[in-house]
Amino acid sequence: MSDDKRDWTENEEVSVTGTAANAKAGALLMLGPEHAILLRGVDDWDEETVGKKLSVDAIVRRRPSFPKAEDSDEAIQGTATGGETWVLEVKQYRVIE
Question: Which tens digits make up the pLDDT trace of 60-90?
Answer: 998 766 555 565 555 544 445 556 678 999 9
User: What CATH number has the domain spanning 13-95?
Assistant: 2.40.50
Taking CA atoms, 76 is separated from 26, 50, 72, 81, 97, in Å, by: 26, 35, 6, 10, 43
Percent of the chain residues topping a pLDDT of 90: 57
Helix (H, G, I), strand (E, B) or coil at 7: coil
Q: What is the pLDDT of residue 65?
A: 64
| Bigger pLDDT: 9 vs 14 | 14
| Bigger pLDDT: 77 vs 11 | 11
Query: What are the boundaries of each domain within the chain?
Result: 13-95
Q: What is the pLDDT of residue 3?
A: 43
Distance (Å, rounded) from C-alpha 28 to C-alpha 87? Answer: 9
How many other CB atoms are found less than 10 A from the CB of residue 78?
A: 9
